[in-house]
Structure 1
Amino acid sequence: MKKKIHLLLGMAAIICGLSFTSCSDFLNVEKYFEDAQSEDKIFSDDMYTLQWLSYCYSRLLGDNIEVGHSRFCPQNFADDQVFSETYGRYKAYKLGEIGYGYSYSGYYQNAWKWSYAAIYQATVLINKVDINQDFTPEEIQDVKGQARFLRAYFYWMLLRRYGPIPLLPTEGVDYTKPYDELSYPRNTYDECVEFITSEMVQAAKELPEKRDNLNLARPTRGAALAVRAKVYLYGASPLANGNTEMADFTDKTGRVLIPQEYDESKWAKAAAAARDVIEGDWYKLFTVKKRETAAKGDYSYPKTIDPPYNKKFSDKPFPEGWADIDPFDSYRSLFNGEVFLFNNPEIIFSRVVNDAAADFDNLGDYSDVVQLVKHQMPSSVGGWNMHAMTMKQCDAYDMADGNPYDRTTGMTGFASSDNKADRPYDNLEDGVWLGYANREPRFYASVGYNGARWNCTSAIGTGAVNVINKQVWYYRGETDGRSNSVERWLVTGIGIKKYINPSDCANNSGSITQKPEPALRYADILLSYAEALNNLTTTYEIPSWDESTTYTISRDVEQMRRGVKPVRMRAGVPDYDNDVYGDRNAFFDKIVHERQIEFFAESQRYYDVRRWKIAPEHEGGQIYGCNVMMDKEHAEAFYTPVRVTGVQTAFSRKQYFWPMNYDELQRNRNMTQAPGWQDYD
């Protein structure tokens, strides 16, 4: 392009601040250009065209982020995390009491209107950009592909949250018409899936396979196909495939919006779509080479701890084993900003650095991963000490040999030089509870357990010695422990280290490394492939996305291994035995567990337990943590599981989907409410 716009999101958007107070405000941003120019004039100019496209990208921020803190990203909190930031809001969120008529009605309301504003803008661009003579035909195709991807992506985000949604006409909407004439009913779930997936195929034909390092926030062919695979997976899952519990989810005419008949072939389509991404060979799991010695003088880069010896995997290089990689640092560095996105082969799509609050008054707050990190970091190193891991999540991490952790039979007492020989697979400091010993590498990359060290190596000045490699305690009476006067303490006594870089420090002139948002990564595609195959009882012949070949799709154990084994090897834990692969129910349980660990704090668990229809038993269960009332003098009692006081959890049918906003129900006479929520008719 003659003028290249570098879309590191948050810095790119030119147009913002829509009020959405009328139909024309809701759908038209033409008036926000410097001159009241016609669309024809806008799309004949390359810079104005890119500004128009940039607006669509800007709507991916705020309430539409996929990894972030609780103000924007409540779906990042399922049964695995708790936030004490505005604690009453968390309790309301867990009980499904957010929305019109509740105390926190103003939260999480922008996703719907922002998405549809972007969908409209993208549609206009797709239909108009061909008149542009400043672009080459190849550049027009790319711009059109980006807009098509974004339109389908916004629909995808809406589908996950709200269930069946209205699909606007692809030829565009005449926003000059009265609003009653623009009232669109919900389409069926299957219609939404078919539209999004078909649009992603077309986008894949229009988008390039790779981007340079100045355009990493723009989608590629692989990103379009990966989203397509996710959409098919959700469409095949129990929530949307033969779900008779949702027979009353209808439109105004009585048309049932959730398929009532189970269709196994949907799993085959999901598997074939994931296979398209795998066969594309665009991505691979990120790994860090084995570290033979510790970084001199730096606690934060220890010598690689070899997982327990396994004759099948210990002596083989990745991905057949883990002999040449550091499983702990491979997982840790994937998220903490250690590696630039351009050099990370696992991230498929990302908003990159989405710190746009300084540019857009309507965001109101920063929504990037750095802000998530600040919410996780202890107060003593400048953090806000608000996001805590549940005991359920902490205990879900396996032992180093891959066996489940069992609190009733696990080690007790505290780490010391006397028991180091009993725990060869950790770097626990003296005084740390031995329940945290000998756990799998992802545990140490994710859990900020009581007594963990926070490296804070960017701290400088005379006070730096007080925070660099600081051991942080959550006992009552400690700086970061329970406090009755403020909300900045961890209600479970278990911190979170995922996304934390060893250099991150929020005081003593330290800094926090920028981290790319992992909205969609290759590990997800691999595990989705295995999950989809597991649900097949017959064989299907399905064409590839471009119809260049045909896949034979069946419950093939070796193909299932192709999806699971690399993820397990990168984590330094053994692959499953044949008896697990051979048992459909046992394998499903393993997939549920693996996704809980691998995708912790990535807004996956929230949607997973819903699409599998296991949310009542998981999100409906009470939240447990350590006994944060205990001080250091009663250290052993601190680790006694106690229910988090003041948080009553429940899960009812209405919490499968988000409620339709009251204003939208009043404006759109054809809109229906999701089951269980008040419709205000």
Structure 2
Amino acid sequence: MKKITLLAPLLLSLGLGLSISSCSKYLDVEHFFDDRQSEDRIFKSKDYTEQWLGNCYNKLLDYNLEMGHRNYTISNYSDDMFYNESAGGNGDEYRRFKFGEYDYTWQRQSWAQSYGGIRQASVMIHSMAEGGAFTPKQVADYKAQARFIRAYLYWLLLRKYGPVPIMPDKGVDYDESYDKLAYPRNTYDEVATFIAEEMALAAQDLPLKRDNRNIARPTRGAALATRAKALLFAASPLANGNAEMSEFTDDKGRMLISAQYSEEKWARAAAAAKDVIDLNAYKLYTADFKAKGTADYPATITPPHHPEYSEKNFPEGWANIDPFESYRAVFNGDLYAAENPEMIFTRGENQTDENHGIIALTRHQMPQVGGGYNCHGITLKQCDAYAMNDGTTFNRQQIRQKYGTNMFVQKAELDQFKPLLENVWKDFAHREPRFYASVAYSGTLWTMSSATSNLSNVTNKQIFYYRGENEGMINGDRWLPTGIGMMKFVNPKDNATGNGGKIYPKVEIAIRYADLLLMYAEALNEINGSYMVASWDGKTTHQITRNIDQMKNSIGMVRIRAGVPNYDNAIYTDQAALRRQIKGERQIELLGENQRYYDLRRWKDAPIDEAQQIYGYNVYMTKDNADLFYTPVRVPQLQTIFSKKMYFWPVDWDELRKNRRMTQAPGWPSFD
């Protein structure tokens, strides 16, 4: 009888919605592998099966997190966000990453971690059978979870490394000869199709919803949403009709990325996104309108009157919602996972140590006066991308012409310029609500209200980034080279000073409904013909066309929830114009969610957007020259380039050495 590694007896529940403080510790079960047992014994025991599945889930953490600190989620930093800390304190790590020197642990470990999980999941899929402690329904669910994890790991690999080898379905027999253990890359389309087919299979046996205790286990929607994302990437310009990647081949010379464009791929992606929408299981989260408020939760700032949206309730309008709080609360820990109707997939509460997930990300964004590290922020390009509160484009020249020499908010003007405080620069006035939920501009109020002692020193601080201020330019790495911080993911109560406060747990939202709505509109916009595409389960057929009403409805929900008007019909009738708007909408809505880095690559926009000079404010200016601080300047330590090799991560030399059929991604050394 075949023997395999087994966990020692330890009951692991995968419900992360209760009192779990650390997913990393909770799911890290490899140190319990100390026995050799038969597959039959393992998968007839509930405890052993949970342990085996727990180790599969563990492979989704660490270097495979969707959102987090740069140690593990380096792809969270594109042309929108930056980090300033590094081992030497001189920012060189950021420079090397942005110049394509991908020689870090994250680049090597993600590959090994993912394929380890793929093997682990494959064993479970093919070894678990009815009997023992499980009913047929339970067996189907366990195997579907393992199938989801396996396909999700392939999805993570596809985004990073491009076309990767699809391993034998039943796993690898390590008793085979070396030659038989070498596998070539599959094509991009083959990998995307495999993910789509596997997720459809998993969806058949995954439930539509999970209870609170099992909130971190995948659902049918999670499987179908990942399927839609894989098909969208396969339809995008990087993988669809890209002759520039003709030299990306396997060991036999087969092209791995199609040089022939297929519009039908967009139709498949649109149909897959519609499969998720048609589940009717998700909706955008909205917070109620507040007539009165506090420093932590201010009263609703009503968007400028609009004849179409101001008098209607959501989703037709914003009359009954608080757009600022509706967006902010999705990310900052105010919502439990089970309370968030737009969350499609999560790993539960993110890790709480300083090197992993959203907790670490939050602390690196927070000012030092609140116990933070003040070294993660956003670029001026991202800051300027947010629209005005009436939906019009931000225009620095027009604003400065309007206010002239009166560019700082005066005490008598506070009501006119809410939520800005006194002495704040008016470039930040009257911007859309997502701006205030995401951008820590100079002069922002950080409430940090959970502290219980020394309150005057650690709570309700207006933070400026002028040189000479506590959070301004210093020697070292705890300052923001652009002079612009990031507020997204930060809870108004977060405080890490040791004065009785705490950083509140955050739920990692790996996939959410707003993303699916934008994906659906993007795919529809690229279609000129008409296509009949079967649903994921074959029970119905979608007629896919460039339907303006459906695109307008999908994008409109995202924008109206954010308190900004939907686009005019002239935009929707112009394919190129709508494409530009969708890209901009994703840049704003999905900031910090590990999307922008991959979006720019799949659109083939990275050679321009990622290579542009990075600008910020003039952080060398002191408070005495505050007006000069807001002069846009090039930021020398945050410069970047883009070369062709940076579309995909390289395969590590050790892997190339072990697998002689593996080929390297274009532009990277192959070590032949």
TM-score normalised by length of structure 2: 0.94
Letter in 1 for 2:489: Y
Partner of 1:213: 212
Partner of 1:492: 482
Partner of 2:95: 91
Q: 1:502 aligns with which of 475, 484, 492?
A: 492
Partner of 2:311: 315
Partner of 2:575: 584
Does 2:443 align with 1:443? no
How many Å separate the matches in 1 of 2:106 and 2:120? 25
How many Å separate the matches in 1 of 2:532 and 2:186? 28
Alignment of 1:506-521 (within 5 A): 506-507=496-497, 508-521=499-512
* Alpha-carbon distance, 1:544 to partner: 1.2
Please, which runs of 5 or more residues in structure 1 have no aligned partner?
Answer: 18-31, 100-104, 358-364
Q: 2:619 aligns with which of 618, 628, 644?
A: 628
Partner of 2:173: 174
How many Å separate the matches in 1 of 2:393 and 2:650? 38
Q: Deviations over 1:552-574 (max 9, x none)?
A: 11001001112101000100000
Partner of 2:425: 433
Give the aligned length: 647
The CA RMSD over aligned residues, in Å, is 1.4
* Alpha-carbon distance, 1:514 to partner: 0.4
Question: Which secondary structure state, in structure 1, belongs to the residue aligned with residue 597 of structure 2?
Answer: helix
Q: Deviations over 1:65-86 (max 9, x none)?
A: 0100111111100000111111
Alignment of 1:36-47 (within 5 A): 36-47=36-47
How many Å separate the matches in 2 of 1:106 and 1:180? 28
Q: Deviations over 1:226-256 (max 9, x none)?
A: 1111111000000000000000000010000
Partner of 2:448: 456
Question: Which secondary structure state, in structure 2, belongs to the residue aligned with residue 308 of structure 1?
Answer: coil
* Alpha-carbon distance, 1:356 to partner: 7.2
Q: Deviations over 1:27-69 (max 9, x none)?
A: xxxxx63322122221221211111110010111111101001
Contact 2:130–2:136 (8 Å) recurs in 1: no
Partner of 2:13: 5
How many Å separate the matches in 2 of 1:510 and 1:672? 51
Contact 1:474–1:481 (8 Å) recurs in 2: yes
Does 2:376 align with 1:382? no
Letter in 1 for 2:376: H
Q: Deviations over 1:310-355 (max 9, x none)?
A: 0011111000010000000000101000010101011111111232
How many Å separate the matches in 2 of 1:421 and 1:662? 61
Partner of 2:284: 285
* Alpha-carbon distance, 1:407 to partner: 1.2
Partner of 2:6: none
Partner of 1:29: none
* Alpha-carbon distance, 1:132 to partner: 4.4
Letter in 2 for 1:187: N
Partner of 2:227: 228
How many Å separate the matches in 1 of 2:12 and 2:671? 48
Q: Deviations over 1:176-210 (max 9, x none)?
A: 22333211100001110111000000000010111
Letter in 1 for 2:210: R
How many Å separate the matches in 2 of 1:389 and 1:592? 18
Contact 1:290–1:304 (8 Å) recurs in 2: yes
Does 2:411 align with 1:417? yes
Does 2:383 align with 1:391? no
Question: Which secondary structure state, in structure 2, belongs to the residue aligned with residue 551 of structure 1?
Answer: strand
Question: Which secondary structure state, in structure 2, belongs to the residue aligned with residue 303 of structure 1?
Answer: coil
Q: Deviations over 1:391-439 (max 9, x none)?
A: 000000000000000111114511113334653xx31000000000000
Partner of 2:4: none
How many Å separate the matches in 1 of 2:596 and 2:350? 22
Q: Structure 1 residues 206-215 or 405-414, which shifts more?
A: 405-414
Letter in 1 for 2:337: L
Does 2:560 align with 1:569? yes
Q: Deviations over 1:625-672 (max 9, x none)?
A: 111100100000001111112333110111000011111011100000
Contact 1:43–1:131 (8 Å) recurs in 2: no
How many Å separate the matches in 2 of 1:353 and 1:303? 28
Q: 1:546 aligns with which of 537, 542, 546?
A: 537
Contact 2:350–2:359 (8 Å) recurs in 1: no
Please identify runs of 4+ aligned residues in structure 1 that moved more than 4 A.
none
How many Å separate the matches in 2 of 1:110 and 1:65? 12
Partner of 1:537: 528
Contact 2:452–2:500 (8 Å) recurs in 1: yes
Does 2:68 align with 1:72? no
How many Å separate the matches in 2 of 1:172 and 1:475? 57
How many Å separate the matches in 2 of 1:207 and 1:98? 37
How many Å separate the matches in 1 of 2:490 and 2:244? 41
Contact 2:71–2:355 (8 Å) recurs in 1: no
How many Å separate the matches in 2 of 1:568 and 1:188? 37
* Alpha-carbon distance, 1:550 to partner: 1.2
Contact 1:353–1:368 (8 Å) recurs in 2: no
Q: Structure 1 residues 171-180 or 201-210, which shifts more?
A: 171-180
* Alpha-carbon distance, 1:466 to partner: 1.6
How many Å separate the matches in 1 of 2:351 and 2:74? 18
Partner of 2:161: 162
Question: Which secondary structure state, in structure 1, belongs to the residue aligned with residue 37 of structure 2?
Answer: coil
Q: Deviations over 1:261-314 (max 9, x none)?
A: 0000000000000001101001000110000112xxx31211101101000111
Q: 1:370 aligns with which of 353, 356, 359?
A: 359
TM-score normalised by length of structure 1: 0.93
How many Å separate the matches in 1 of 2:11 and 2:97? 45
Does 2:303 align with 1:304? no
Does 2:632 align with 1:676? no
Partner of 1:102: none
Question: Which secondary structure state, in structure 2, belongs to the residue aligned with residue 622 of structure 1?
Answer: coil
How many Å separate the matches in 2 of 1:616 and 1:36? 51
Partner of 2:182: 183
Partner of 1:15: 29
Letter in 2 for 1:43: F
How many Å separate the matches in 2 of 1:337 and 1:165? 36
Contact 2:11–2:50 (8 Å) recurs in 1: no
Q: 1:618 aligns with which of 609, 628, 646?
A: 609
Question: Which secondary structure state, in structure 1, belongs to the residue aligned with residue 533 of structure 2?
Answer: strand
Question: Which secondary structure state, in structure 1, belongs to the residue aligned with residue 412 of structure 2?
Answer: helix
Letter in 1 for 2:55: Y
Question: Which secondary structure state, in structure 2, belongs to the residue aligned with residue 443 of structure 1?
Answer: helix
Question: Which secondary structure state, in structure 2, belongs to the residue aligned with residue 57 of structure 1?
Answer: helix
Identity of aligned residues (%): 51
How many Å separate the matches in 2 of 1:477 and 1:550? 64
Question: Which secondary structure state, in structure 2, belongs to the residue aligned with residue 34 of structure 1?
Answer: strand
Question: Which secondary structure state, in structure 2, belongs to the residue aligned with residue 388 of structure 1?
Answer: strand
- Do the aligned partners of residues 169 and 499 (structure 1) sit closer, same or farther apart at CA in structure 2, a change above 3 Å counting? same
Partner of 1:57: 57
How many Å separate the matches in 1 of 2:179 and 2:446? 57
Question: Which secondary structure state, in structure 2, belongs to the residue aligned with residue 373 of structure 1?
Answer: helix
Question: Which secondary structure state, in structure 2, belongs to the residue aligned with residue 288 of structure 1?
Answer: coil
How many Å separate the matches in 2 of 1:416 and 1:646? 34
Letter in 1 for 2:65: I
How many Å separate the matches in 1 of 2:151 and 2:384? 38
Contact 2:24–2:62 (8 Å) recurs in 1: no
Letter in 2 for 1:529: Y
How many Å separate the matches in 2 of 1:468 and 1:453? 9
Partner of 1:332: 328
Contact 2:466–2:619 (8 Å) recurs in 1: yes
Q: Structure 1 residues 42-51 or 572-581, which shifts more?
A: 42-51
Letter in 2 for 1:414: F
Contact 1:5–1:12 (8 Å) recurs in 2: no
